[in-house]
A and B are shown apart, each in its own frame.
Chain A
Amino acid sequence: MIGYYFSLAMRSLRGTPILSALMVAAIAVGVGASMTVLTLNYMMSQNALSHKDEVLFAVQLDSWDPNASYRGDSNLTRMPWELTYRDAQALLRSDTPSRQVAMHRWGATVTVDDSEMRPFIGQTRVTTRDFFALFDVDFLHGGTWEKNADSNPAQQVVITRKTNEKLFGGENSVGETINMDGHPFTVIGVIENWNPVPKVHDLNNGAFDDSEAFYIPFGLHRKLEIFSWGNTNSWKHEEDLEGFEGFLQSESVWIQYWVELHTDEQKQRFENFLTSYIQEQKAQGRFERPLKFGLTQPSEWLVVNEVLRDDNRVLGWLSLAFLLVCVVNAVALLLAKFLRKAPEAGVRRALGASRNAIFTQHLIESVCIGILGGLMGILLSMFGLSAVKSLAMGFADRIAQMDWLMMLSAVGLAVVASLLAGLYPAWRISRTSPSIYLKTQ
């Protein structure tokens, strides 16, 4: 019977094209507006590391000013999101984590010898070797650098597939040389394109920016005087520290730090290590706040870093409220349409249709309107997301796009909305007395 009801619904929609179009439009506008906002929220809430959520932890140490908030608000207990260089170096000495990554954002002018390519700024991540294994980044060619390159200078670079195509036409470029700020770097690996949205491994430096195209060893800082190209926050006036070495030894926080811990025991040992380290630093006059550190899973890290802000959530609820208004309009239109068909419902009742059958038939007509509204809503959402991209001038390009799940959700939302809209009109027509219409037709 469901197939029969669908065919009746389509026939009914074709029979009243203008009214049907109005109802589809009402649902589509509501779904389009809602899905535009919900898609943005959904994309902002994605966790590309969800498959390792139980074993990855972002590390925080509370080395901040005891008398001021990290973010300039009244919250004096909030820890900085990044570490100082010296703390990162100290943590790297621990052999407890299965893998650990200290890293930050950098950039360099990239050239290739004997190439007609014009120099360009290459977004670069300065990191320890575990980066690729810890974040499950696959290699297309070659591999990562040796462990000693994390502490000793080795001018080696790993590039992305996209960069490899740009610089070397997609050929295996392992062994080739590129110049970064005039320094020669040997390509030792090519990774698959890896571009998580949001950039959960580094939310401080444009959570929705593209991931870097070049990856170089952490041991190069002193040799090349690599400063941070990302967020660098400082709270202490340190007159005695000068030059690049002074920067490395300062209380400025600019290093993101991640560890991979597989067991509770391993985690406990690392926590003990951090506790000992902080106590040791306290004894030297650092870490003036109460002893505190953070080991935060990726999913929680997105929350801590407020990737999806409260105003985004409010906007999400407002968009659903708008959808509700559209549903109310659809209720009125459906009621008008269904009651106009009451005589037909009367005939069907006389011929053996139960109230439930009439109710189901009309509810399915609502569902058809919902499916059509959902499909049109997807188009409107895409238009809305294009508008967001255009207004954001490139900053929202990676989040203002619908995936299949959101497209299916749009249709699902439209069907739920149309079911809600159709409940009362379908109930009303199923309760009308058939005898009235049979005599008066």
Chain B
Amino acid sequence: MLKMHNVRKSYRTDTIETHALRDFSLEVNEGEFVSVTGPSGSGKTTFLNIAGLLETPTGGQYLLDGQDVSDLNDRDRSRLRNEKIGFIFQGFNLIPDLDLFDNIDVPLRYRGFNAKERKKRIEKVLEQVGLSARARHLPAQLSGGQQQRVAIARALAGEPRFLLADEPTGNLDSLMARQVMELLEFINEWGTTIVMVTHDPDLARRAHRNIQIVDGQVADLRLQSALGEAVTA
């Protein structure tokens, strides 16, 4: 589903060049639920942004669903993002002046579905997250857990094959966090591939596989690389 090989990402200012990802290689298979952990500043979010086609890598190769997306233009990246990727953010990122129905409608509009198709999909996902009765409420009228469920519904409306979650329970209390996690597990069981960045070791353990990122590299690979250098020396 996702394959990164020697992906690099650096940010350059006038005086400093910061390497957010260095020779980052990772493969996530279709249907997997992968958790990503690591200390702050290790490159987790940069990895997620590149995986979600929100940023372009400085170097290396990124294959999404078998397609090399490293050098796609903005239009193609946006189309792929809309069709194949769903996002769930720590801060929910709902548009405050749109009601739930219209929030979920946003990605479907960019997909070009007609009004009937959009309505059908919106009603379906709202039902899946248990918020059908609140369709015309504004996000501010909901609790944090409910807002995150709306965000999940929005991510699911386009029926993406790949869901990227950036600390989806970070702003929720433990009860809400558990509900959201159960919902993600349920979604994964339907066949959606999920990559979830989290600081919570308990949640990380519930994934099929956990990956640690340290200093812009996958931890075990970094270890192998260090060992290799030591042998050479």
Contacts and interface: CB of A to CB of B under 8 A. Distances in A.
Point out which of A1, A343, A344, A354 has the most chain B C-beta atoms below 10 A from its C-beta.
A354
A350 B98 CA distance: 17
A357 B110 contact: yes
Contacts of A344: 95
B108 to A, nearest CB: 9
A355 B78 CA distance: 8
B38 interface: no
A441 B93 contact: yes
Contact of B109 (A1, A349, A350, A439): A1
B97 A350 contact: no
Interface stretch (B49-57, B180-188, B209-217, B218-226): B49-57
B45 A354 contact: no
24 contacts: A4-B109, A11-B97, A11-B98, A15-B97, A347-B106, A348-B95, A349-B54, A349-B78, A350-B54, A351-B87, A352-B79, A352-B81, A352-B110, A352-B158, A353-B110, A354-B78, A354-B79, A356-B74, A433-B54, A434-B54, A435-B55, A438-B91, A439-B91, A441-B93
Interface residues of A, number: 24
Contacts of A343: 93
Nearest to A354: B78
A166 to B, nearest CB: 61
A227 to B, nearest CB: 75
Given A1-B109, A435-B45, A438-B89, A352 B82 contact: yes
Contacts of A438: 54, 87, 89, 91, 93, 166
A409 to B, nearest CB: 34
Contacts of A348: 95, 106, 110
B89 A433 contact: no
B93 A347 contact: yes
Interface residues of B, number: 28
B79 A350 contact: no
Contacts of A439: 45, 89, 91, 166
Contacts of B106: 347-348, 351
Given A15-B97, A352-B107, A441 B91 contact: yes
Interface in A167-182: none
Interface string A337-371: 00000011011111111111100000000000000
